[in-house]
Structure 1
């Protein structure tokens, strides 16, 4: 009797377990994700043991998943997980074992033993990577950084700065990675929920709400996302009241995108917003942009705008060059992939690149959370700290729940 004959159907959680187990066991690079407002979970694996680096010409890349840190690489290349193996499944449909590719079927096993094996493999992989600059940022240290930014703004050197911090949590014994990932999918339908592992570069999980660039067929999309407040009441999107500081913070990001369009003499685009959107337990202000690449004659607009937009003023500041220099000098840690960009490229004729926010890195016996806050002349350092606490909690509360 065939093994698949004994299993009538596989739960979505079991499918995630099998994919994570397969990826961690492979020794290569892999990514698992669910795009915003979709029911499709996707997985790719590149079994090469060394990180693969590519030019940022999105239109000419094969199907895969791109990763780029916050700081530019000297040769301006990104890291790339090529889709040597690809699998997807629909969260709205049952999973029939016979429909699974053979390399997934080989992982059909008792879910409890698979869960234990995933934790063991995860701990082995993350023990090989350590960044000594990551720990928990002290409140006094972060508030001092915010005050330094306010001083630069007051002197007219900056319009906005986005300082970041880290927060460290213990990785709980018996940590269930698949369950945590599945809970993120269920909790954050409007976010890009992702997990990726690259040997020598690290292991990350997140749920980011921010599209950097997206191309679907002939259409290009991007967004200006900024301003943060906690969700309150029964209808938070309609009852939200935004301060002048938050409105201006979002307007700076929006103006930067429009300025990028002007640089390349792109005049025909749709703009919608700003509007209040919900991402987990937080609200943000968002303006959406859409361009018809065919009618405007910009077939490579995705790559052009990726180069112009990263790092955005939403994660760096304005003016971008001066803000970037300030952060390089004043921040006491390497952001690595936090506030960089990640996402699937040329998979089924779509490319979706996201700013890597609301993210966590696994290393040794710790989970390192990352968060930033947009500082303008009206900022209150204490409130900026509270904002980063809320952002860390988006992923952190799921890690803490595992220890209950």
Structure 2
């Protein structure tokens, strides 16, 4: 065996992969039917993918984690035994993610989450556009076609999609903050002081909540509710071990590579949604016209263009517009380019964007480490998938949370610039908690603490 993370050597191991079609099912129907997954992914313009078990798993640590994951995954995917007529949509994929910081410890709430972890599922189900496909993968010296086909038969025989509606939300019984309002004011004032001194141009500071539920966390119900409310977002759930799941519905694409075509974009500057159509339009107009918001957004767009300079050509910037979500609206600028680089190379070039880190990057990361009162873990980091050809999609893990049994930890942040007001930024963070809290709060939950920003923990 190779010493690298327990992956068998390419000259003695092989990947066997077979695919059959299943009765059509929704993403949540698959989750209810086949049980507890390792990985879930769905995007507005892609099929959903659910993975169970591990044909292969790769992990990595440190600043070289992006290249290490690619190298180890390439060993697994190098020589697949897969029929030539197998549908491309059901091809084997690695799914997983990275920590925000390269020095991630993987302790406390993040126990079981390495600095980078990806799984090639043993059982992979892809669903969307009226088709559902089952792919079974086996990797190693003893991988065999007969064993793969036996698993195909077993899963097919017991696959009866369970499409019942989501149960009522479990309710929230307690919420505790990792950062009090007084601490937040001090953090923002210290950050703006460092910006005015010239040390920084921008830094993104975040918070977390520790939420106790009245009932157990249900991943199928959570994914169903997020899908109903945020169909245009990147929904994901990752569980590197048998412990907590990291899940969310991110509005932000980090990058997609499809052949030589590259898609990314700048998503930065945030206001809430109005209570009436007129109020909503006024907030959108304020977002477009505010010099603060325009500057915050353009800093991100310019930095992304710079980050792509060494890995892409024909970089083109689309028209800036307002992107409206359920509780907030952002400025968004689409960016396209051409690149023959592996998607993980593009991920490495783009992470972290100024929308989740800051500028200059090294100074911003140092301030984040020195300032925040909790461990970001995989929050605001790249999560997604890639295949043998180097194609794939990664999102920035925003509007996300850790969940285990009755404990949930949502994360949210705000971009701090020279004229940021601590109380305004506080209110923005509370809005960004809503996608996760709304998954669990029933109509009887008060929710005042995280909705309005009142009641410091």
Counterpart pick for 1:52 among 53, 58, 77 = 58
Residue from 39, 49, 52 that aligns with 1:42:
49
Equivalent residue number for residue 128 of structure 1: none
Measured after TM superposition, the shift of residue 9 of structure 1 is 8.1
The CA deviation string for residues 62-121 of structure 1, in whole angstroms up to 9 with x for no partner, is 42113101101589972111132211222x648799xx9732653659889x99xxx9xx
> 1:336 pairs with 351, 360, 377, which one?
377
Q: Are residue 209 (structure 1) and residue 251 (structure 2) matched?
A: yes
What's the CA shift for 1:325? 0.6
2: CA distance between counterparts of 1:268 and 1:143?
43
RMSD: 3.5
Q: Measure the CA separation in 2 of the matches of 1:268 and 1:137.
A: 43
Q: Report the equivalent of 2:96.
A: 66
Q: What secondary structure sits across from 1:389 in the alignment?
A: helix
Q: Within 2, Cα distance between the matches of 1:201 and 1:310?
A: 26
Contact 1:237 1:283 survives alignment (8 Å): no
Q: Structure 1: 5+ residue runs without aligned partners?
A: 1-7, 24-29, 120-133, 294-298
What corresponds to 1:352 in structure 2?
393
SS at match of 2:301: helix
Query: How many residue pairs end up in the alignment?
Result: 362
- Secondary structure of the residue that 1:304 maps to in structure 2? helix
* Residue 281 (structure 1) aligns with: 327
- Contact preservation (8 Å) 2:318, 2:333: yes
Following TM superposition, by how much is the alpha carbon of 1:402 offset from its aligned partner in structure 2, in angstroms? 8.7
SS in 1 for 2:246: strand
Equivalent in the alignment of 1:308: 349
Alignment of 1:98-137 (within 5 A): 102-103=154-155, 105-106=157-158, 108=160, 136-137=178-179
Alpha-carbon distance in 1 for matches of 2:163, 2:312: 53
**Structure 1 SS opposite 2:31:** helix
1:172–1:403 CA contact under 8 A, matched in 2? no
Q: Is the contact between residue 204 and residue 358 of structure 2 (CA under 8 Å) also seen in structure 1?
A: yes
Relative distance call for 1:185 and 1:104 in structure 2 (3 A) is: farther
Residue deviations 1:8-34 (CA, integer Å, cap 9, x gap): 986764333124x142xxxxxx11122
- State yes or no: 1:146 paired with 2:188: yes
Measured in 2, the distance between the counterparts of 1:10 and 1:354 equals 24
Q: String of CA shifts for 1:252-306, please: whole Å, max 9, x gaps.
A: 11111122234x285521211321112332111111211122xxxxx21633332
Does residue 270 (structure 1) correspond to residue 316 (structure 2)? The answer is yes
Question: With CA pairs under 8 Å and 6+ residues apart, which has the higher RCO, 1 or 2?
Answer: 1
**Distance (Å, rounded) in 1 between the aligned partners of 2:43 and 2:100:** 21
Change (3 A) 1:237 1:302: farther
The equivalent of 1:369 in structure 2 is 410
Query: Does structure 1 conserve the Cα–Cα contact (< 8 Å) formed by 2:36 and 2:52?
Result: no
Over 3 Å counting, the alpha-carbon distance change for 1:187 and 1:271 in structure 2 is same
CA distance in 1, matches of 2:162, 2:387: 35
Contact 1:36 1:191 in 2 (8 A): yes
Residues 211 and 109 (structure 1 numbering): CA distance in 2 closer, same or farther, change over 3 Å?
Answer: closer
Matched, 1:325 2:371: no
Q: Does 1:17 align with 2:32?
A: yes
Change (3 A) 1:199 1:9: closer
Residues 362-371 or 244-253, more deviating? 362-371
Structure 1 residues 228 and 255: alpha-carbon distance in aligned structure 2, compared to 1, 3 A threshold: same
Aligned match for 1:250, one of 271, 294, 297: 297
Deviation at 1:47, TM superposition (A): 3.2
Structure-2 separation of matches of 1:351 and 1:360: 23
TM-score (norm 1): 0.79
1:363 to partner: Cα distance: 3.4
Q: Which stretches in structure 2 are left out of the alignment for 5+ residues?
A: 1-22, 78-92, 106-113, 135-151, 171-175, 446-457
CA contact (8 A) 1:315 1:339 kept: yes
**8 Å Cα contact 1:66/1:345 also seen in 2:** no
Shift of 1:212: 1.1
1:265 and 1:280, CA in 2 relative to 1: closer, same or farther beyond 3 A? Answer: same
For residues 365 and 320 of structure 1, the distance between their equivalents in structure 2, rounded to whole angstroms, comes to: 36
In the superposition, the TM-score normalised over structure 2's length comes to: 0.70
